[in-house]
Structure 1
Amino acid sequence: MLWRAVSEETPGPKWSGLFAEYWPDYKRWWLKEGEEIRPTYAESLRALKQHMPEIVPLYEEMCELAGGGDLAARFLSFYCPPPYLAGCSQAIWTGREPVMVRNYDYNPNAFDSVVLRTRWQGRSVMGTSDGLFGLVDGVNDAGLAISLTFGGRRVVGEGFGVPLILRYVLQTCDTAEQAGAALARIPTHMSYNVTVLDKKRQYLTAMMAPDRPTVITHAAVATNHQENVEWVSHARFTATVERERFLLHRLTLHRDPEEKFIGAFLKPPLYSTAFAAGFGTLYTAVYRPRKQQMELRWPGTVWSLGLKEFAEGGRRILLPGAA
């Protein structure tokens, strides 16, 4: 995989260049069920204005940079996108300097592999891009870190793709408490577990779903189910219960030191090479919100990035087991 780290203070030519590069594939994915099944631009804009009004000016700016087309604008709203699944494990290591650690398990051919550092609307944000507007994990200049896992349910409803929800939280929230309030009210189109950690050591996990109220918990671990396993075959295939137990043991019974705890994410049962089935581990991310820093890790490789010390560049990563 070719990874890129891109910094652009305000939306501009770097972002529009990335969008032009990725849009043909995203357009094909977005239309795979037919254009008529996707919400109209008017419906998408109305939903954004209702649920995330603070970023509507930013959204409109991105639409212009993307060329001003109807399909691109509908896609960038992330409103009622096609269903998509990911694996993933995430946990808060609650030591002296708490860190958020996560594995992102997904199809390498359907992934941006871009870290974006932006200062959109005056708020500095750094994180792993999805759809070039959304994020699957990230940190902001208030010292708030966030990450997602799939919630392990088949239900699809009316709501937003969760990567834009993560972007919204980092653009508008300073604390875990504020993030929890936002996550509790914004509708999501599928079930996801979203974990946040702030610089004051406060953390929470929101279990979001399209068909029932969001449950805010003090869970330090999230894998691919919510309070109970509902999609049994998916749970067995992804070993979600086993991964959750493994992490809970590491946090409670064994009480690993920080580096050992992080290292466990690069080994089974957390690390996956099931790329043929679309659930291989693409990267491990480590977030230190008080320092506003992140690390991307792979076996034998660490890439450190900071909001204040962000160096653009690229890395070629060989993923064991990935074609």
Structure 2
Amino acid sequence: MKIQEDAMYLQFEAINEDVPGSKWRRVFDRHWPAYSRWFVSDGDRSRPTYSNSLKALRTYMPRLLPTYEAIVETAGGGDLEARFLSMWCPPFYVGGCSQAIVTGAEPSLIRNYDYSPRLFQGTWLASRFNGKRVVAVVDCLWGVLDGINEDGLAVSLAFGGRTAAGEGFGIPVVLRYVLEFANTTAAAVAMLRSIPVHMSYSIALIDRKGNHATVYVNPDRPAEVVERRVSTNHQHGVEWACHAEITNSVERAAAVEKLLPLSASIKEVLSGFQRPPIYQTNYGHRCGTLYTAVYRPFDASVELVWPGSVWRQSCADFQDEVRTLRFNDGKFGGLAPTFSQVTVSS
């Protein structure tokens, strides 16, 4: 077996920086070459102008404008950078993910993020852009894949399994908006109903009081709140059969459903998320599990979990650190990532 040759490595960096500064700029410099190539992969004219991007932000997320302007300034203030960072009508992209809302004695949100280690940004950011502490795993340099704020509102996303695309925002910037300005599930749902998105996603939400929701957002349909605590990569039913088959979306959803009787504990659900079919290892096809996140609204904490390893942070106590993960593609016999190195940033 060619384990060493086919291993993939991922640097996962935790950064504590209240407002965009030198730490965030270092992340930008590392990832901007790849992001900029992706952003104009269909040609520069295929992406909206800066004027249109700014207009969309002013229309749908006006309270986020000061943060956006600070991010753009820290990135150097260029036209392409500003258009990209608005996340207005980005290119189409897909991923995996499994999500479960646990409603027992200690409410929680547990999710697996499934993607390719080679394409994942690997930034865990604790910020206070608008006075409220937000801890989130970041995508597109400042958007949110999953996260929690100091009010105990937790949120995560899963691709909705549809090929529909339209005029709207990339969902990571919408979830940034939610965590910056919402403190309850109800407030978050209201935001999701009012902001257009360019692709289909299933959004999981839970707050400190245990109020929760799964929201289907789509570019061609109104946002819909559904009575489900489980989401993978299809919504009401499979619409993109090829993607569902490659990512085992139906099988994962069934497996997660079995984990969620009313008496289920976080420990029991987490254990299931660390095993197939929920835990995936096909990293070469962009559907390997890169991390499991456990969000606990009571104390606004989060754990990133791998088999045999737990990395805990919280809104109250977040430490800079860098961890390097090694992933072996399942088709070569590798079953789990391992920590190959741990270093602490200054």
| Shorter-normalised TM range | over 0.9
Q: Does 1:80 align with 2:118?
A: no
Q: Do the aligned residues in 2 keep the contact of 1:184 with 1:216 (CA within 8 Å)?
A: no
Structure 1 residue 280: deviation in Å? 0.8
Give the partner amino acid of 1:8.
E
The residue aligned with 1:138 is: 147
Structure 1 residue 318: deviation in Å? 2.1
Distance 1:218 1:152 in 2: 19
Q: Does 1:193 align with 2:190?
A: no
The residue aligned with 1:9 is: 18
Distance 1:203 1:181 in 2: 13
The residue aligned with 2:321 is: 313
The residue aligned with 1:228 is: 237
Structure 1 residue 169: deviation in Å? 0.2
What is the number of equivalent residue pairs in this alignment? 322
Please identify, of 240-249 and 301-310, the stretch whose mean Cα deviation from structure 2 is larger: 240-249
Q: Deviations over 1:26-85 (max 9, x none)?
A: 001111111000000000000000000000111011111100100000000001001110
Q: Do the aligned residues in 2 keep the contact of 1:203 with 1:218 (CA within 8 Å)?
A: no
CA RMSD of aligned residues (A): 1.3
SS of equivalent residue, structure 2 residue 118: helix
Q: Deviations over 1:206-260 (max 9, x none)?
A: 100001111112321111011121111211221211211111121138x543212
Distance 2:245 2:16 in 1: 40
The residue aligned with 1:294 is: 302
1:49-64 equivalence runs, <5 A: 49-64=58-73
Q: Do the aligned residues in 1 keep the contact of 2:117 with 2:327 (CA within 8 Å)?
A: no
Name the % identity.
45
2:120 to 104, 111, 115: 111
Distance 2:184 2:33 in 1: 37
Distance 2:236 2:153 in 1: 25
Q: Does 1:204 align with 2:205?
A: no
2:176 to 163, 167, 176: 167
Distance 1:112 1:71 in 2: 19
Distance 1:218 1:13 in 2: 43
Distance 2:156 2:45 in 1: 32
2:249 to 225, 240, 254: 240
Structure 1 residue 130: deviation in Å? 0.5
Q: Do the aligned residues in 1 keep the contact of 2:283 with 2:328 (CA within 8 Å)?
A: no
Q: Does 1:304 align with 2:325?
A: no
Distance 1:19 1:138 in 2: 20
Q: Does 1:65 align with 2:81?
A: no
Please identify, of 214-223 and 153-162, the stretch whose mean Cα deviation from structure 2 is larger: 214-223
Q: Do the aligned residues in 1 keep the contact of 2:206 with 2:212 (CA within 8 Å)?
A: yes
Query: Unaligned regions of 5+ residues in structure 1, if any?
Result: none
1:90-109 equivalence runs, <5 A: 90-109=99-118
SS of equivalent residue, structure 1 residue 219: coil
Distance 1:110 1:44 in 2: 25
Q: Does 1:25 align with 2:24?
A: no
The residue aligned with 1:266 is: 274
SS of equivalent residue, structure 1 residue 116: strand
Q: What TM-score does the superposition give when structure 2 sets the normalisation length?
A: 0.91
Query: Unaligned regions of 5+ residues in structure 2, if any?
Result: 1-9, 333-346
Q: What TM-score does the superposition give when structure 1 sets the normalisation length?
A: 0.97
SS of equivalent residue, structure 1 residue 241: helix
Give the partner amino acid of 1:56.
L
